[in-house]
Structure 1
Amino acid sequence: MPALPSAAEAAKILPQDPPTILNAYTTLVLAAENAAVEAHNNMRLVQSRVVGYLMLYPPSSESLRTVTMEVDSCNGLGHSDPLQAIYNLGAMYLSHLIILFKGARGRTPAPSDHSSRPSFDRLREDCLNNPQPSPRDHSSAKASALVRDNFRCMITGKVDWGAVRRGLTDRQPREVPAFTRCCHIFPESLGNISRGSTGSKEHETATVWTTLHRFGYKDICEELGAATTATNLHRLENILTLDPFVHQLFDMLHLWFEAVEGQPNVYNVALAPDSTHEELFLPKTVRFASHRPGLPLPNPRYLQIHAACCRIAHMSGAAEFLDSVYQEMEELRVLAEDGASADVLTVAIHRRLADPG
Structure 2
Amino acid sequence: MPQRLPPNPFNGNTLSREHSAYATCLRYEAEATAGSHPVLSGLESIVLARVLGYLIIYAPTELGRANISHDVASCDTTEKLADMAKLYVAAFIRCCKRLMPFLLHASSSLLFLVKSAKGPTSAPSSHPSGPSSDNVTDAFLHTLLEAPQNYQKSKALALHRDNYRCVITGYLDTVTYVNRADVAAEWEDAAASDPYMRVEATHCAHIFPECFNEENEGGHKHSHAASIWAAIARFGQVRGAEELAGPLVHRIENVMTMSSSLHQSFDSLMIWFEATPTLNQYNVRSIKPGILKGVQNPITLPTNHNIPAPDPRYLKLHAACAQIAHLSGAAEYISSVERELEETGVLATDVSVRAVVNVPLCSSEVAEGFLPVEAYAALGRLGARVALFWVLPGPGDGLDGLQGLRAENMAGGRGAFGACDAAGLGGAD
Q: Same fold judged by TM-score > 0.5?
A: yes
1:91 aligned residue (86, 93, 96):
86
**Cα deviation, residue 315, structure 1:** 2.0
Give 2:45's aligned residue.
Answer: 44
**Cα deviation, residue 323, structure 1:** 2.4
Distance in 2 (CA, whole Å) between partners of 1:102 and 1:204 is 17
SS of residue matched to 1:183: strand
**Cα deviation, residue 219, structure 1:** 5.0
1:184 aligned residue (189, 206, 213):
206
Give 2:320's aligned residue.
Answer: 308
Change in 2 beyond 3 A, CA 1:94/1:16: farther
* Aligned residue runs from structure 1 range 298-337, under 5 A: 298-336=310-348
User: What letter is aligned with 2:18?
Assistant: I
Give 2:388's aligned residue.
Answer: none
Distance in 2 (CA, whole Å) between partners of 1:195 and 1:38 is 43
1:222 partnered with 2:231: no
Give 2:160's aligned residue.
Answer: 147
SS of residue matched to 2:289: coil
Aligned 8 A contact 1:193 1:206 in 2: no
Give 1:25's aligned residue.
Answer: 22
**Cα deviation, residue 300, structure 1:** 0.7
1:101 partnered with 2:95: yes
SS of residue matched to 1:150: coil
Change in 2 beyond 3 A, CA 1:32/1:266: same
Give 1:265's aligned residue.
Answer: 280
* Aligned residue runs from structure 1 range 231-246, under 5 A: 231-246=247-262
Change in 2 beyond 3 A, CA 1:265/1:18: closer
* Identity across matched positions, percent: 30
Q: Deviations over 1:272-319 (max 9, x none)?
A: 1x32477x32223201112x3121111111100001111112221222
1:204 partnered with 2:224: yes
User: What letter is aligned with 2:156?
Assistant: A
Give 2:302's aligned residue.
Answer: 289
Which of the two has higher C-alpha Rg?
A: 2
Where does structure 1 lack aligned partners over 5 or more consecutive residues?
76-81, 114-118, 353-357
Give 2:66's aligned residue.
Answer: 65
SS of residue matched to 1:45: helix
**Cα deviation, residue 64, structure 1:** 1.6
Change in 2 beyond 3 A, CA 1:108/1:216: closer
Distance in 1 (CA, whole Å) between partners of 2:335 and 2:11 is 30
User: CA-atom RMSD, angstroms?
Assistant: 3.0
User: What letter is aligned with 1:25?
Assistant: Y
TM-score (norm 2): 0.67
Aligned 8 A contact 1:325 1:344 in 2: no
Distance in 2 (CA, whole Å) between partners of 1:235 and 1:205 is 19
Aligned 8 A contact 2:229 2:240 in 1: no
Distance in 1 (CA, whole Å) between partners of 2:260 and 2:4 is 34
SS of residue matched to 2:63: helix
SS of residue matched to 2:154: helix
* Aligned residue runs from structure 1 range 238-257, under 5 A: 238-257=254-273
**Cα deviation, residue 238, structure 1:** 0.4
**Cα deviation, residue 48, structure 1:** 0.6
Distance in 1 (CA, whole Å) between partners of 2:273 and 2:353 is 30
Q: Deviations over 1:204-233 (max 9, x none)?
A: 3212221123336255543323xxx2x111
Change in 2 beyond 3 A, CA 1:18/1:179: closer
SS of residue matched to 2:339: helix
Change in 2 beyond 3 A, CA 1:329/1:14: farther
Change in 2 beyond 3 A, CA 1:159/1:195: closer
Q: Deviations over 1:4-42 (max 9, x none)?
A: 123xxx1x335744524322322x322221121123611
**Cα deviation, residue 136, structure 1:** 0.8
Give 1:275's aligned residue.
Answer: 289
Aligned 8 A contact 2:164 2:172 in 1: yes
Aligned 8 A contact 2:124 2:202 in 1: no
Aligned 8 A contact 1:127 1:144 in 2: no
Distance in 2 (CA, whole Å) between partners of 1:125 and 1:109 is 26
Distance in 1 (CA, whole Å) between partners of 2:254 and 2:326 is 23
User: What letter is aligned with 2:235?
Assistant: F
Distance in 1 (CA, whole Å) between partners of 2:164 and 2:238 is 33
**Cα deviation, residue 127, structure 1:** 8.1
TM-score (norm 1): 0.79
**Cα deviation, residue 161, structure 1:** 0.9
Q: Structure 1 or 2: larger helix share?
A: 1
**Cα deviation, residue 66, structure 1:** 1.9
**Cα deviation, residue 194, structure 1:** 4.2
Where does structure 2 lack aligned partners over 5 or more consecutive residues?
36-40, 101-117, 356-370, 376-429
Distance in 2 (CA, whole Å) between partners of 1:283 and 1:303 is 19
Give 2:418's aligned residue.
Answer: none
Distance in 1 (CA, whole Å) between partners of 2:352 and 2:16 is 37
Aligned 8 A contact 1:259 1:268 in 2: yes
Distance in 2 (CA, whole Å) between partners of 1:3 and 1:328 is 25
